[in-house]
């Protein structure tokens, strides 16, 4: 299975010579910040001078600043249908997107029924053309299901809500009806898997992402209790990995929980410290703590770590949905280069963002893990010996219809299978001792019949080599030949590609 660099418009003599360039690598921290007043109304008219950023209690210099107006949909597109699928997302540039998630893993079916009613009520109150492109998914008992691809159509989303049949664990549901416990024993594990899938799928979307999780989530990481130290450490590594993926994807997680006592977690004006007693903070600043990665990290911990809020036990979930959706679009983007030069692996850096007005509060993520997150490498050994996270990432992505955006892929039919085109700039080319550069990818192809049952699966490890003087232009694509036998009665084939160096993934689907 060979690969070749394809550049649209390339002449027979090769690519057009490019001017020499210098590549500079710097560590830039990007923060999306929501500012609200006493009534919880977003404040959108502040300038750079109103913000102060601390990392580990050390004042940082804000390098770049974008007000909320810098993240709007393209000029002239108001009330126009721009996005009808994931393929249309490049048209909106850095504008934000929403991801609505029905939690069918942990939420009692009667509460989820109420949540669905409130979802319909919320959508009915929206304009016919939604101002924010929205992806609608369900975290079900057996898989992550896409109820509707990215769209701005209110009518299409309403139809998806009405048609959806929940993917429940019926054993758990019967236990609930008989007064038993609620939720699965491994609800934490499966919820972490769902969050990881969503974060990875959003990696190639340039703007901010607002993931609105409608359902209970898990109460706490009770699964960690009673584990051996080795198992405990592995579980905590997974929790950190999922958090890292969400932060890297610029995700803010909001939780709308229809069950339980009334509570609103997250930063509020009541948390302001009038005396400014926290070290390194001005009077009137909100005292926020960094993410807590203790043994009982609950779902609220992920919400808080990403700068979101948890809302529970309310009878106006439709209004709360509207509020968090609005907050997710009215945000400032700040960036800075940390004063610390240490890149200690997995070291967590705490961040505080302050607005120098005691009547306002700024909410953003609480920190990040410094250094590059480890990427599991493919082992050229039997399938059972591949790293567990690599197997999970690839197979969970291959067996759902969730669009993965980290690698921009196109499919072309070929005589003996397919050709896969991927943007060359999305791939990581690693320098070799002889001066060449190599990109390595893993590709999984899954064939589905009309009933969405898997009829065949193919996997391959592919490489592309560039010479020392080869240039990657903005329009250059890498073409991979993928010969395969497609079974009869196949309805569609789904391809998932993973970059070996970065773990970044993309997906594409085609007809046989």
Tell me: the pLDDT tens digits for 73-119? Answer: 998 888 899 999 999 999 999 999 999 999 988 888 778 888 888 88
Burial 427-462, CB ≥16 within 10 A → b, else e: bbbeeeeeeebbbbbbbbbbbbeeeeeebeebeeeb
Pick 434 or 219 by higher pLDDT: 434
13-24 mean pLDDT: 37
Higher pLDDT, 340 or 408: 408
Which pLDDT score, from 0 to 100, does residue 198 have? Answer: 96
* Residue 364 scores a pLDDT above 90: yes
**Residue 308, Cβ density class (10 Å: 0-12 exposed, 13-18 middle, ≥19 buried):** buried
Angle, alpha carbons 402-404-408 (nearest 5°) = 140
Does 183 have pLDDT greater than 60? no
Lowest mean pLDDT among 60-69, 186-195, 223-232: 223-232
How many helices (H) and strands (E) the chain has is answered by 8, 26
Query: What percentage of the chain reaches a pLDDT higher than 70?
Result: 80
Mean pLDDT of 39-57: 93
* pTM of the shown model: 0.84
Mean pLDDT along residues 454-476: 90
Say what the pLDDT of residue 210 is. 95
Using 50, 70 and 90 to split pLDDT, how confident is the model at 404?
very high
Averaged pLDDT for residues 414-432? 93
Given a cut of 70, whether residue 409 has pLDDT beyond it is: yes
Q: To which H or E segment does residue 169 belong?
A: none
So what's the pLDDT on residue 301? 80
- Which pLDDT value is given to residue 22? 38
List of residues 6+ apart from 351 with CB closer than 8 A: 29, 31, 53, 54, 55, 290, 364, 365, 366, 367, 368
Q: Is the pLDDT of residue 170 over 90?
A: no
Residue 400's H or E segment, with its range, is none
Q: Are 323 and 41 in contact (CB under 8 A)?
A: no
Greatest Cα-to-Cα distance within the chain, rounded to the nearest angstrom: 74
Per-residue model confidence (pLDDT) at position 106: 84
Q: Which two tokens stand for residue 91?
A: 């048209």
Residue showing tokens 């509570």: 263
Domain 70-332 sits in which CATH superfamily?
von Willebrand factor, type A domain (3.40.50.410)
Please give the full DSSP string across 82-98, using - where no structure is assigned. Answer: --SSGGGGGGGTT--EE
440 token code pair: 């390595």
Tokens linked to 455? 């009829």
Q: Check if the beta carbon of residue 311 is closer than 8 Å to that of residue 368.
A: no
Percent of the chain having pLDDT more than 90? 48
Average pLDDT for residues 408-412, to the nearest whole number? 95
Give the mean model confidence (pLDDT) for residues 420-425.
Answer: 95
Q: Residue 59: which residues within 8 A CB-CB, separation 6 or more?
A: 52, 53, 280
Predicted confidence (pLDDT) at residue 438 exceeds the cutoff of 70: yes
- Place 222 in a pLDDT band, splitting at 50, 70 and 90: low
Helix (H) or strand (E) holding 192: helix 187-201
Max mean pLDDT among 33-47, 281-295, 373-387 falls in 33-47
Which residue in this structure is represented by tokens 């299901």?
145
Q: Kindly report the CA angle at 487 between 485 and 489, in degrees rounded to 5?
A: 145
Average pLDDT over residues 487-506: 94
What does the pLDDT read at residue 297?
63
* CB atoms inside a 10 Å sphere around CB 299: 26
Report yes or no: 310 and 268 within 8 Å, Cβ to Cβ: no
| pLDDT for 129 | 95
Mean pLDDT of the chain: 81
Q: Specify the 3-state DSSP secondary structure of 148.
A: strand
- From residue 8, alpha-carbon distances to 16, 146, 424, 473, 477 in Å are 11, 33, 12, 10, 8
- Helix (H, G, I), strand (E, B), or coil: what is residue 109? helix
* CA–CA separation, 510 and 109 (whole Å): 35
Report whether pLDDT(387) > 90. Answer: no
Which pLDDT does position 23 carry in this prediction?
38
**For residue 307, which of 261, 220, 368 has the smallest C-alpha distance?**
368
pLDDT reported for residue 40: 84
Q: Minimal CA–CA distance to 157: which of 166, 165, 148, 169?
A: 148
Q: Provide the residue count of the chain.
A: 512
Residue 164 Cα distances to 159, 160, 232, 404, angstroms: 9, 6, 37, 22
Phi/psi at 113 (5° precision): -60, -40
Pairing of strands 477-483, 417-423: antiparallel
506 is written with which tokens? Answer: 């993309």
382-510 CATH, one of 1.10.530.10, 3.30.365.10, 1.10.10.60, 2.60.40.10: 2.60.40.10
pLDDT of 189-204, one tens digit each? 888 899 999 999 999 9
State residue 2's pLDDT score.
Answer: 44
| Predicted pLDDT of residue 18 | 38
| pLDDT above 90 (res 188) | no
Instruction: State residue 269's pLDDT score.
Output: 36
The pLDDT of 15-22, averaged and rounded, is: 37
Task: Name the residue ranges covered by the structural domains of the chain.
Answer: 70-332, 382-510
- pLDDT at residue 138 above 80? yes
pLDDT value at position 261? Answer: 57
Average pLDDT of span 204-211: 93
> Helices in 263-366 by DSSP H: which ranges?
299-305, 317-327
């Amino acid at each position: 299975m060979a690969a070749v660099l394809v550049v649209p418009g390339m002449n027979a003599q090769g690519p057009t010579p490019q001017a020499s360039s210098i590549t500079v690598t710097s560590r830039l921290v990007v923060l999306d910040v929501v500012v609200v007043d006493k009534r919880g109304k977003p404040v959108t008219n502040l300038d750079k001078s109103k913000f102060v950023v601390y990392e580990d209690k050390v004042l940082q210099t804000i390098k770049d600043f974008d007000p909320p107006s810098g993240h709007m949909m393209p000029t002239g597109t108001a009330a126009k249908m721009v996005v009808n699928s994931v393929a249309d997302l490049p048209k909106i540039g850095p504008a934000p997107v929403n991801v609505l998630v029905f939690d069918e893993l942990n939420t009692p079916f009667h509460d989820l029924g109420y949540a669905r009613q409130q979802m319909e009520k919320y959508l009915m109150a929206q304009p016919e053309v939604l101002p924010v492109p929205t992806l609608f998914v369900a975290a079900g008992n057996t898989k992550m299901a896409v109820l509707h691809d990215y769209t701005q159509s209110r009518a299409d989303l309403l139809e998806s809500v009405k048609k959806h049949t929940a993917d429940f664990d019926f054993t758990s549901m019967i236990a609930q009806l008989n007064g038993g416990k609620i939720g699965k024993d491994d609800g934490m594990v499966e919820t972490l898997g769902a969050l990881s899938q969503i974060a990875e799928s959003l990696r190639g979307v340039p703007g901010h992402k607002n993931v609105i999780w409608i359902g209970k989530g898990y109460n706490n990481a009770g699964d960690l209790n009673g584990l051996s130290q080795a198992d405990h450490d592995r579980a905590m590594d997974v929790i950190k990995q999922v958090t890292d993926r969400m932060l890297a994807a610029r995700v803010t997680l909001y939780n709308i929980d229809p069950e339980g006592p009334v509570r609103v977690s997250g930063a509020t004006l009541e948390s302001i410290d009038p005396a400014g007693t926290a070290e390194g903070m001005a009077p009137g600043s909100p005292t926020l703590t960094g993410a807590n990665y203790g043994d009982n990290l609950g779902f609220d911990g992920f919400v808080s770590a990403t700068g979101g809020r948890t809302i529970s036990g309310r009878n106006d979930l439709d209004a709360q949905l509207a509020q968090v959706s609005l907050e997710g679009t009215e945000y400032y983007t700040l960036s800075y280069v940390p004063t610390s030069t240490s890149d200690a692996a997995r070291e967590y850096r705490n961040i505080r963002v302050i607005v120098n007005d005691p009547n306002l509060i700024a909410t953003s993520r609480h920190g990040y893990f410094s250094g590059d997150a480890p990427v599991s490498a493919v082992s050229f050994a039997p399938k059972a010996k591949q790293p567990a996270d690599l197997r999970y990432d690839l197979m969970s992505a291959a067996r759902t219809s969730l669009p993965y955006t980290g690698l921009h892929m196109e499919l072309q039919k070929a005589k003996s299978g397919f050709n896969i085109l991927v943007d060359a700039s999305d791939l990581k080319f690693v320098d070799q001792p002889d001066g060449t550069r190599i990109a390595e990818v893993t590709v999984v192809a899954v064939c589905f019949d009309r009933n969405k049952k898997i009829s065949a699966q193919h996997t391959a490890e592919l490489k592309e080599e560039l010479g020392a003087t080869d240039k990657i232009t903005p329009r250059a694509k890498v073409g991979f030949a993928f010969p395969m036998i497609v079974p009869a009665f196949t309805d569609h084939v789904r391809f998932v590609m993973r970059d070996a160096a970065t773990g970044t993934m993309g997906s594409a689907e085609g007809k046989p």
